[in-house]
Structure 1
Amino acid sequence: MRISIIGPAYPYRGGIALHNNLLYKEFSNKHTTEIINFKRQYPGILFPGKTQYEESKTFAHIPSFRILDSINPISWHKAANHIKLFSPDLIIIQFWMPFFSPCYGRIVRLLKKNSCSKTIIICHNIVPHEGSPIDKLLTKYLFSKADGFIIQAHSVEKDLLELRPDAKYRYNPHPIYNIFGNPLDKTEARKQLGIKEKNVILYFGYIRKYKGVKYLIRAVPEILKKLDLKVIIAGEFYEDKKQYLQEIRNIDREGKIALIDRYIPDEDVNTYFSAADLVVLPYINATQSGIVQIALSYNLPCVV
């Protein structure tokens, strides 16, 4: 089978790019597979982080064709022409936000004109955590052109059927990410991170309003009444961090909260999860999370 995967991959960072990297690795073992990647994923003005690119030197070096520009329709036509020449049996699109719907939808429409390829959309999230009124229209535009869908959480099913009542879909749970190496000795991992406390709680990932990190911070004084504890908050801020710093200053008189304000490269993930006793995801709303899948690979309990 010939397979085209459309979406971000190395050198882009983040969960969707990682998902595509792993898909490529698995499919390419038995099928002729390509990734149609972005040369520009987001305009700089729309990206809240420090960099869109993976800084790891040892992980995820996946080959791809960097053709797409999310806001340049000429690149969409170039991508469609490239895919036509490749002549795939299956096209896989990763969907996690409506911003990319015009780009993806146009590509699929162009390919439908003279291609027998089937298009499957993997739905990570359908209703945005922080959306706008136009989101539903954009998503409908793309979804109307797909032949089938994969949902990775039952909570996404209702959203899919609301937008596409006749959708053909399959539930396939989010995979466990066991790619970061064998767990380190807990004592050694904590030594590397400078942790002396007996118990370690880990929050890992981007810090955004819907992820509820402030509630974890506010819970720390109560937990400290019962446990000798270190709380690690490891991830890059995607919103103003001043309010979080103020919360920590008001609450944390003993230095029990360690704020690691940066994106954690792949080769360091093992150390953080090896050091932890518990992973906390205090999300206000979410459909699924790759962080849970990493925690499960380390046999760590999660509070969600």
Structure 2
Amino acid sequence: MSELKDAVIVGTAWPYRGGLASTNQTLARTFLAEGIRCRIVTFTLQYPSFLFPGKSQYDDAPAPEGLDIARMLNSVNPLSWIRTGLRIRKMRPDVVIVRYWIPQMSPALGTVCRIARRCGIRTVALLDNVVPHEKRPLDRLLTRYFVGSIDGFVYMSEQVRRDLRLFTKDKPALFSPHPMYTNYGPALDRGEACRALGLDAELRYTMFFGFVRDYKGLDLLFDAWAQLREKGRTQGRKLIVAGEYYSGRERYAEQIERLGLGDEVVLFDRFIPDTDVAKFFSVCDLVVQPYRRATQSGVTQVAYWFDVPMIVTDVGGLREIVPDAVTGLVVEPDAGAIAGAIARFYDEGLGEPFRRNILSYRERFTWERMTENFRALYRKISGGGHD
């Protein structure tokens, strides 16, 4: 066995935007700070435009300083997969760390890893999901191809581990919870943040944050808020929805109108850039994740960074990260249960005790803990042969 000294991360990074890119870049910075050489290989084409559900895949911000990011991989061009694999072989890293989130990337990522492994480079996957939230034909076949190219896995929830064991029973895998997003800076003065967003600082805010997709259950939250309003429980409060719609825009607009929530909901229907994230989390009392399905959620780790309590549904690995009645409340994915939890949060004054608990609980979500897990997994796989 040997110590990890040189890593290449393959996955989303600048000029692409979003949580995957932010996570990969922060992981690389943490390795570098620990004296481990780390480079990032990202895409020349990530998604063809007609397959991308949002308005833009790209970040308007300048390239991050201090990171070696090379654009090599075209997700739909097999010649690019081969070229990328061969170029990584020439780099001779100890390990290739691949960020895996959807089966559609399996042919590209799996081919790169297979080529790298032929000269003894170890391959590790950081798993957001194994079984996707939104299933498509060939998912299992594609995932099996990718899993076959990997020596070891880092998973971020027990649900992901259970899904992984559907494809491999014996390959090494270590649990490492999603670290906090530390790249958004500190919280702001609440009044300042309200002014920046055009919000009334006299009101209190509950928030849904992130890309809007059907499995995230925003409709359940709207139904819950309507129930609270009918009971007179939303006076002095509003619901913020901050994030770009990836599905269902018209349906949600119709629901808001049908439930009469036009004056109750503040919509920020756009991608929220990194520079604005602190503003949103500085104005809200509570973040609600009313998901119907989940493995883990990066939104949870943003909330922890800003010390914001949460209500999450008891699906996937959310309960693992948000212990019930400690840093938030865990409920069934049901509008009535969500409404009851929101009412309880305010009625019982749970904000302050939950925030105090967050300050100690979040210590387990450091980036250094994740890099140590990668080093431990590398030590485990570096002495053995390939499957």
What TM-score range do you get, normalising by the shorter chain? over 0.9
Aligned to 2:255: 247
- Taking the TM superposition and a 5 Å limit, the aligned residue runs for 1:149-188 are 149-188=153-192
Aligned to 2:98: 93
Deviations 1:139-161, CA, capped at 9 Å, x for gaps: 11111121100011111111011
Aligned counterpart for 1:295 among listed residues 284, 303, 308: 303
- Between the aligned residues of both structures, percent identity stands at 37
Unaligned regions of 5+ residues in structure 2, if any? 313-387
Aligned to 2:84: 79
Normalising by structure 2, we get a TM-score of 0.75
Check if 1:66 corresponds to 2:71.
yes
Consecutive aligned runs of 4 or more in structure 1 exceeding 4 Å deviation: 57-62
Question: SS at the partner of 2:97?
Answer: strand
Q: Partners in 1 of 2:190 and 2:227 — Cα distance?
A: 25
Mean Cα deviation higher: 85-94 or 235-244: 235-244
Mean Cα deviation higher: 49-58 or 259-268: 49-58
Contact 1:58 1:267 in 2 (8 A): no
| Cα offset, 1:51, TM superposition | 0.4
- Taking the TM superposition and a 5 Å limit, the aligned residue runs for 1:216-295 are 216-224=221-229, 225-227=232-234, 228-252=236-260, 255-295=263-303
Question: SS at the partner of 1:125?
Answer: coil
| Cα offset, 1:229, TM superposition | 1.1
Deviations 1:267-301, CA, capped at 9 Å, x for gaps: 00000000010001111100001100000111111
Paired AA for residue 245 in structure 2: F
Unaligned regions of 5+ residues in structure 1, if any? none
Q: What count of residue pairs does the alignment treat as equivalent?
A: 303
Q: Partners in 1 of 2:47 and 2:150 — Cα distance?
A: 24
Normalising by structure 1, we get a TM-score of 0.95
Check if 1:132 corresponds to 2:140.
no
Deviations 1:12-70, CA, capped at 9 Å, x for gaps: 11221111111111112212211111010011111111000112359688441101000
Name the structure with the higher helix share. Answer: 2
Q: Partners in 2 of 1:209 and 1:247 — Cα distance?
A: 13
Q: Partners in 2 of 1:178 and 1:8 — Cα distance?
A: 18
Question: SS at the partner of 1:163?
Answer: coil
Paired AA for residue 253 in structure 2: L
| Cα offset, 1:266, TM superposition | 0.3
Q: Partners in 2 of 1:178 and 1:65 — Cα distance?
A: 23
Q: Partners in 2 of 1:162 and 1:60 — Cα distance?
A: 40
Contact 1:189 1:275 in 2 (8 A): yes
Contact 1:10 1:62 in 2 (8 A): no
Mean Cα deviation higher: 139-148 or 223-232: 223-232
Mean Cα deviation higher: 216-225 or 167-176: 216-225
C-alpha distance 211-60 of structure 1, shift in aligned 2 (>3 A): farther
C-alpha distance 259-249 of structure 1, shift in aligned 2 (>3 A): same
Question: SS at the partner of 1:23?
Answer: helix
Question: SS at the partner of 1:162?
Answer: coil
C-alpha distance 217-253 of structure 1, shift in aligned 2 (>3 A): closer
C-alpha distance 261-60 of structure 1, shift in aligned 2 (>3 A): farther
C-alpha distance 121-253 of structure 1, shift in aligned 2 (>3 A): closer
Check if 1:211 corresponds to 2:216.
yes
